[in-house]
Amino acid sequence: MSSIEVVSPTIEEYLEAIYRLEKKKGSAKTGDLAKELNVALGTITNTIESMEKQNFITHKPYKGVNLTKKGRKIALDVVRRHRLSERLLTDVLHIDWSKTHDAACKLEHAIADKDIIKPLEKVLGKPKTCPHGNPIPSESGKVIEEKSELLANLGLGKEGIIVKVTDERPDMLQYLATLGLVPGANVQIEEKAPFNGPIIVKVMGASYALGRNVASVIWVKKNE
């Protein structure tokens, strides 16, 4: 029986953060983790040392840490619980998608039990993604990532469907929602200002100028 190892909520948070950073930048640097987890640098050094001893991660000083197979397995389970929690919050409790991330980040540790997570997944209708479009790992840790590209990289005149949003700060999500920039929405590039200037996009008939920072958290699937 290869059931998933039980670790403290703290270690789960570390694994979750490492997973995200690894996905985004290839590895998780001490400093990034300190910011992400809101703790002092020395704390990170301590904890990753202990996590390395437990074979959850490998660490190359000044290069960052990476998940081992063992660590990734747990991380994926945390991410799974996180994203199912988000779905519960939006789909069942009707909470705004801008508020779900922080709440889910606590909830995820309280629903580790299979007797809870399985019924939850079922009631939600086995959703494939979180409300922000990120894939929900399967029970066995499989992640089906829909192919997509950054809105910021889409060519002039091209259009596509928003697949996911990879910045879950409440203010960012609120802003995106007011423009209708949510997963499933159709967007077209109308203009791209030079020198990394704004991008004008058309959504639901309306046009908006987006900064590159914003256009770089939105992933779309190009229409053929």
Partner DNA sequence: AATATATATACGATGAATCGTACTTTTATT
Partner DNA sequence: AATAAAAGTACGATTCATCGTATATATATT
The entry of a second copy, DNA, Mn ion, none that residue 161 binds, CB within 5 to 8 Å by partner kind: none
Window of 6-14, 114-122, 155-163, 205-213 that interacts with DNA by CB under 7 A? 6-14
Helix (H, G, I), strand (E, B) or coil at 75: helix
Closest CA to 130 of 178, 71, 177, 90: 90
CA–CA dist 100, 185 (Å, integer): 20
CA–CA dist 186, 6 (Å, integer): 42
Rounded least distance, CB 57 to Mn ion, Å: 17
The entry of DNA, a second copy, Mn ion, none that residue 87 binds, CB within 5 to 8 Å by partner kind: none
CA–CA dist 126, 80 (Å, integer): 11
Q: Does position 132 bind Mn ion by CB under 5 A?
A: yes
Helix (H, G, I), strand (E, B) or coil at 191: strand
Q: Does position 45 bind DNA by CB under 7 A?
A: yes
Site for Mn ion in 96-125 (CB under 5 A): 105
Q: Token pair of 95, please? A: 């909470």
Q: Does position 40 bind DNA by CB under 7 A?
A: yes
Q: Does position 119 bind a second copy by CB under 8 A?
A: yes
Sign of the Cα torsion 28, 32, 36, 41 reads positive
Tell me which residues touch Mn ion (CB under 5 A).
13, 16, 86, 105, 130, 132
Tell me which residues touch DNA (CB under 7 A).
8, 10-11, 29-32, 37-50, 59, 61-64
